Chain A
Amino acid sequence: MLSLVVFLPLAAALGLVVLPRGGGTAASWVWLIVSAVDLVLIGWLWFDYEDPGRGALAHEEQAPWIPGVDSSYHIGLDGLSLPLVAMTAVIFLVCAIYSLRGVDRPRSHAALFLFLQTVSLGLFVSADLILFFVFFDLSIVGMYFVIAGWGHGQAARSALKFFLYTFLGSLALLAGFIGLYVAADPHTFDMLELTEQTPLAGSSVGGGLVLACILVGLAIKTPTVPFHTWLPAAHTDAPAVGSAVLAAVLLKMGTYGFVRIAMPMLPEAWRAWAWVLIVIGVVSVLYGALVALAQTDLKRMIAYTSVNHMGYVVLALGAAGLVAGDTTQARGIAVTGAVTQMVSHGLVTGALFLLAGVFHDRADTCDMDSYGGLAAPAPRLTVLFAVAAFASLGLPALSGFIAEFQIFTGSIAVAPVTALALLGIIITAALFLRALQRVFTGGTRGHSTAFADLRPEEVWAVAPLMVLSLLIGVLPGPLLAVIEPAADVVVSLVGR
Chain B
Amino acid sequence: MASAMTGMNPLLLVPEMLLFAGGLVALLGGSFLPRTRQWVTRVVALIVLAGAAATAVVIGTKGAQWAFDGTFAIDSATTVTRVVVALATLLVVGIAADEVADSPRESETYALLLFSATGACLLGGATDLMVLVVGFLLASIPIYGLIGMAGGARSAEAAMKAYLMGALFGILLLLGVTMLYGLSGTTGYIDLAQRLAAVSAGAMVAGVVAVAAGLLFEAGGVPGHFWIPDAVEGTSATAATFLTTVPKVGALVALYRLLEALPPDRAWALLVAVLAVTGMTVGNLAAFWQDDPRRLLGWSTVSQVGYLLVAVVVVRGSDLALPALLVYLAGYAVTNVAAFAVTAALPERRDLTSYRGLSSSHPWLAGALVVALLGLVGTPPTAVFVGKLTVASAAWDGGHAWLVIVLLVNTVLSLFYYLRWLAPAFRPSAGGAADPGPWSARTAVVSAVLTVALGVGGGVLWQLVDGPMLPM
- A residues with a Cβ closer than 8 A to B are 64-69, 130, 133-134, 137-138, 141, 145, 148-149, 156, 159-160, 163-164, 167-168, 171-172, 174-175, 178-179, 181-182, 187
Contacts and interface: CB of A to CB of B under 8 A. Distances in A.
B415 A138 contact: no
A137 B415 CA distance: 13
B379 A138 contact: yes
Contact of A69 (B320, B379, B381): B320
B423 A171 contact: no
A207 to B, nearest CB: 14
Given A171-B408, A175-B404, A66 B458 contact: yes
Contact of B415 (A66, A159, A167, A187): A167
Interface of B: 320, 323, 374, 379-381, 385-386, 389-390, 392-393, 396-397, 401, 404-405, 408-409, 411-412, 415-416, 419, 423, 426-427, 458-459, 462-463, 466
17 contacts: A66-B462, A68-B466, A69-B320, A134-B381, A134-B385, A137-B379, A137-B380, A148-B423, A163-B415, A163-B419, A174-B389, A178-B404, A179-B396, A179-B401, A181-B393, A181-B396, A182-B393
Contact of B408 (A68, A148, A172): A172
A68 B457 CA distance: 12
A163 B380 CA distance: 15
A145 B422 CA distance: 10
Given A134-B381, A182-B397, A69 B426 contact: no
Given A138-B379, A175-B404, A182-B397, A67 B415 contact: no
Contacts of B416: 164
Given A130-B389, A163-B419, A168 B412 contact: yes
Contacts of A130: 380, 389
A175 B462 contact: no
A66 B328 CA distance: 14
A175 B386 contact: no
A133 B466 CA distance: 24
B426 A67 contact: no
Given A148-B426, A187-B397, A65 B459 contact: yes
A109 to B, nearest CB: 13
B458 to A, nearest CB: 4
Contact of B380 (A134, A149, A182): A134
Contacts, number: 81
Contact of B426 (A149, A163, A178): A149
A181 B374 CA distance: 25
Given A68-B323, A69-B320, A134-B381, A178 B393 contact: yes
A167 B404 contact: no
A243 to B, nearest CB: 19
B288 to A, nearest CB: 13
A150 B381 CA distance: 25
Contacts of A66: 386, 390, 458-459, 462
A30 to B, nearest CB: 18
Contact of A68 (B396, B427, B462): B462
Contact of B379 (A67, A141, A164, A172): A141
A125 to B, nearest CB: 16
User: What DSSP secondary structure best describes chain B's contact surface?
Assistant: helix
User: What DSSP secondary structure best describes chain A's contact surface?
Assistant: helix
Contacts of A187: 393, 397
B423 A156 contact: yes
Nearest to B466: A68
B368 to A, nearest CB: 13
A164 B374 CA distance: 13
A174 B392 contact: yes
A175 B393 CA distance: 9
Contacts of A134: 380-381, 385
Nearest to B412: A168
Contacts of A179: 396, 401
Contacts of B423: 148, 156, 159-160
Contacts of B380: 130, 133-134, 137-138
A257 to B, nearest CB: 16
Contacts of A67: 459, 462-463
Given A65-B458, A68-B463, A164 B412 contact: yes
Given A68-B463, A69-B320, A69-B390, A171 B396 contact: no
A159 B426 CA distance: 12
Contacts of B419: 160, 163-164
B419 to A, nearest CB: 6
A479 to B, nearest CB: 32
B390 A171 contact: no
A141 B380 CA distance: 10
Contacts of B466: 68
| Closest 4 pairs (CB-CB, A-B) | A134-B380, A68-B462, A171-B408, A66-B458
Given A68-B390, A68-B459, A68-B463, 11 more contacts: A64-B459, A66-B459, A134-B381, A134-B385, A160-B423, A164-B415, A167-B412, A171-B411, A178-B396, A179-B401, A182-B396
Contacts of B397: 182, 187
A483 to B, nearest CB: 29
Contacts of A171: 408-409, 411-412
A69 B463 CA distance: 11
A175 B419 CA distance: 22
A367 B354 CA distance: 36
Nearest to B395: A178
Contacts of A159: 423
A323 B466 CA distance: 45
Nearest to A172: B408
A141 B374 contact: yes
B459 A175 contact: no
Contacts of B389: 69, 130, 174, 178
Given A145-B426, A156-B427, A175 B320 contact: no
Contacts of B401: 179, 182
A164 B288 CA distance: 14
Contacts of A172: 408
A148 B323 CA distance: 37
A175 B408 contact: yes
Contacts of B409: 171
Contacts of B374: 141
B386 to A, nearest CB: 6
Among B320, B380, B404, find the residue whose CB has the most chain A CB atoms closer than 10 A.
Answer: B380
Nearest to A148: B426
Nearest to B379: A137
A15 B379 CA distance: 23
A149 B357 CA distance: 11
Given A66-B459, A167-B412, A175 B379 contact: no
A69 B393 contact: yes
Contacts of A137: 379-380
Contacts of B415: 163-164, 167
Contacts of A156: 423, 427
Contacts of B404: 175, 178
Nearest to B458: A66
Contacts of A65: 458-459
Nearest to A133: B380
Nearest to A174: B408
Among B389, B415, B462, find the residue whose CB has the most chain A CB atoms closer than 10 A.
Answer: B389
A167 B379 CA distance: 9
Nearest to A145: B426
Contacts of A133: 380
A172 B404 CA distance: 10
Contacts of A163: 415, 419
A6 B390 CA distance: 26
B462 to A, nearest CB: 4
A162 to B, nearest CB: 11
Contacts of B381: 134, 138
B295 to A, nearest CB: 21
A181 B385 CA distance: 16
B456 to A, nearest CB: 8
A156 B411 CA distance: 21
